[in-house]
Structure 1
């Protein structure tokens, strides 16, 4: 990799880390950058997942105030994210590269719809729940499990999926939901990263450049994201989700 390529990955990492902290979809920046630099798709995906872990960590730390009182909920949902991310990572290594080309845009589209209708859907669900569950119940656990498989497989826009799910099943504010999303994304990325380091081909220089950039971006993204009003954040999430669909469908 040339010095210019290293700088490009570092810059892409900053932008991706910031986007991931606010909503998710940072992989739509770093992954194409790696492809443009000549990395094979699977190697690029593996290196991208590993490199974005530090940014996921700084993004989660940046939202630590919003994480107060969510430990039990995140421990339960984190188990689903951990197990499913390993399944998704194995699918990446052993399934044909185009296996999810149709499913992924559909999932992101559904997540965007959930984000838009979340306030009304939340009220509707709350009115019909006799005993509201702070952890979202079994359907949220299964939803996180499914999103974790996707995150371990590719990861782009997994944040949109998580926010759509958490916002629909949890009676909580959007910023606290975003904080929970950051933790679940960290679990997914970290678990998949460990798997990839053990069994996949990696390029450590590329990983280092993305990691350095995403660390800075995650910190900056958290500072910005925490100040956004809920309607603005919701609109930003939907815009990123639509951009992700367009990018995945039309390249």
Structure 2
């Protein structure tokens, strides 16, 4: 039987390597710098609101996050934020951009295993230069047949990518930790959406789990991915 699955794509941040925890640590630093002006919960809500407003302007990633922190600092201090605080926020963003990549458990082995039999892609969103840096430092670059760094992950984007790099979304799989970006739009496009929970999820990435979708699956860790692929692929039945 001819396999319906020919292409497997992976998300990057918090699927293959750590990312969100560095944002959380920086946000704690942000709260400490502005504790005289607002409590941590209020700051978190205001920062999230700023990030939502600014995605269309700055996109996803550390640079947009840093600008949103600065904007929030100006807002909560009513334009009186000390210059040293602005400087420290900029330095915090720069530190994030320099932070070495730490692969998540089973990430390399999972990609290496499926790459033996399938076309393997990396599909990630965020700042182009930062995502290229992370990929280069990860040591996984040579395993991918294609890399797509996009401004947003939508059904149309996935259809386009899986058509250009494969035989269309109906013969493709996307593996990631974001229900909103990595799973739901792929399932809607006709592909397999594989959810790998990470534990730390940015609030903007939350979405309802498509439990009734036949092509939706959830694995505990990437260690379980090769077995799931074997179950889906008729060549292994």
Shorter-chain TM range is under 0.3
Q: TM-score normalised to the size of structure 2? A: 0.27
- Name whichever structure is richer in strand by fraction: 2
Structure of larger gyration radius: 2
